[in-house]
Structure 1
């Protein structure tokens, strides 16, 4: 993995590249496209943390964290969570450590913000990212969120 990895905010200068980012076709059912994530980031305001992943000058991925979002207000108004909402690694950049870098970058941001737990959800299934998150130490909680597996990692 390159030592020139970094996260960047989405700006007018890079938004078109962000919107053009594509995962493998067989993964499209598992992760929303960047355009949907950016619309949700706009709607959720300060609760969304979208970033582009660059290796040098090359855009290799997109991530969006969720920050201090009410999880189930009817059941427990105090249950607020933070974690990884979306992770899109470009089809031609997968398998090179960029996903791991993204997860660690979100973990560091959550640590900086004083969070103790890092949540993630994913679509279950053969082409889903469950094995990836399992390798990184996430533990399924037994919960489902919109049909997705919920897992947690200590920050």
Structure 2
């Protein structure tokens, strides 16, 4: 059960090791990068990455990283900017308790706060794909691919 103290917090020196210790189930490891990889990407893409620990009470139960206001395809439209969910890692023993839904809603709120009206996400297709989770939250496929991953959008109206 999710507590009323559920929140997203920045990754800091004080919680870094606990955040890096978040592991998804072994059968999901091929679907999402490890938190350490995400934090390295956040460092390299500091202007657009928004990494956060998902905390319930005093326990880190997951990690989420958004991308905020990136130019999607400058060759088509340099003003076309997008924001959305880049990574979502919920600890293996904490899945199915609403933490992922909370994280997506919190990222959506941050996008709205910054003036965005849509949230985007991609996922690996195939067995154990998170596609049903994202579709269940209202994301709809755009027909685009990012690499080999389908792109979906959630209207934030």
Superposed counterparts of 1:68-87, under 5 Å: 68-87=69-88
CA displacement 1:9-49 (0-9 Å, x = unmatched): 00000101111110001101110001111111011112000
**1:138 to 2:147 alignment:** no
Q: Distance in 2 between matches of 1:7 and 1:30?
A: 22
TM-superposed deviation, 1:77? 1.5
**Match of 2:30?**
29
Q: Distance in 2 between matches of 1:35 and 1:123?
A: 19
Q: TM-score, normalization: structure 2?
A: 0.96
Count of residues in Structure 1 that have an aligned counterpart in Structure 2: 155
Which one has a larger percent strand, Structure 1 or Structure 2? 1
Superposed counterparts of 1:53-92, under 5 Å: 53-92=54-93
**1:152 to 2:143 alignment:** no
**Match of 2:95?**
94
Q: Distance in 2 between matches of 1:138 and 1:2?
A: 26
Q: Distance in 2 between matches of 1:100 and 1:132?
A: 9
Secondary structure, counterpart of 2:19 in structure 1: helix
**Match of 2:13?**
12
Secondary structure, counterpart of 1:108 in structure 2: helix
TM-align CA RMSD: 0.8
CA displacement 1:34-86 (0-9 Å, x = unmatched): 11111110111120000000110111000000011111122222221100000
Task: Name stretches of at least 5 consecutive residues in structure 2 with no aligned partner.
Answer: none
Superposed counterparts of 1:28-47, under 5 Å: 28-47=29-48
TM-superposed deviation, 1:126? 1.9
Runs of 4+ in 1 over 6 A off after TM superposition: none
**Match of 1:113?**
114
Q: Distance in 2 between matches of 1:123 and 1:79?
A: 24
